[in-house]
Amino acid sequence: MDGYFALGGSGGGSASCGGSTISVSGTDVTLVLSGKAKSSSGSCNGYVFCVAAGYSNIVLTAPQTGTTAKLAVIGPTSTSITAGATFAEGGSNAQISGAFYFPYGPIIMNGGSSVLGSTTDTTKCLQMIGSRITLSGGTTAASECIAATGATTSSKVSLVQ
């Protein structure tokens, strides 16, 4: 996307589809965001990726092969674009399987938001990579990852600086 991805900057929410409540569902996809434009609405203002205002049950699963294998979301890769990502105001129950990669921008979670790898498949892993990662205000982030190469079997979640 030559710009940004925002759900809920000015309100809204999920919809019922096939008996499930869902906002967005994508399998074998990678969202690539240039960051040339940023959202200018509500709690999404200034962000390149935003999930807020009651949008819930987003499911994104990265491809397992190809040039973007295991990358679910790629934020701006230019050092001059430092806008980040946010999950805010009840943007909850997101399932992102793959790396959430914002090398030059922060990833900020607040307002009761939540994101994890998968509720049903423990092989689907969420990895967050950002210039800074902030969780506040009742947020949760979880992932059932296989330990990194060289790690002990007891180390599943790591903070690397």
Q: Is the pLDDT of residue 155 over 50?
A: no
| pLDDT tens digits for range 27-59 | 999 999 999 999 998 889 999 999 987 788 888
| pLDDT tens digits for range 100-128 | 999 999 999 998 888 888 777 767 788 89
Torsion of CA 128, 70, 7, 130, to 10 degrees: 20
Q: Is the pLDDT of residue 133 over 60?
A: yes
| Rounded CA separation 126/121 (Å) | 12
User: Tokens 């096939």 correspond to what residue?
Assistant: 18
Mean pLDDT in the chain? 84
Complete DSSP assignment for 125-144: -EEEEES-EEE-SS-EEE--
**Which range, of 4-8, 14-18, 72-76, 107-111, averages the lowest pLDDT?**
14-18
Q: Is the pLDDT of residue 154 over 60?
A: no
SS3 labels along 14-75: CEEECCEEECCEEECCCEECCCCCCCCCHHHCCCCEEECCCCECCEEECCCCCCCCCEEEEC
Q: What is the pTM of this model?
A: 0.85
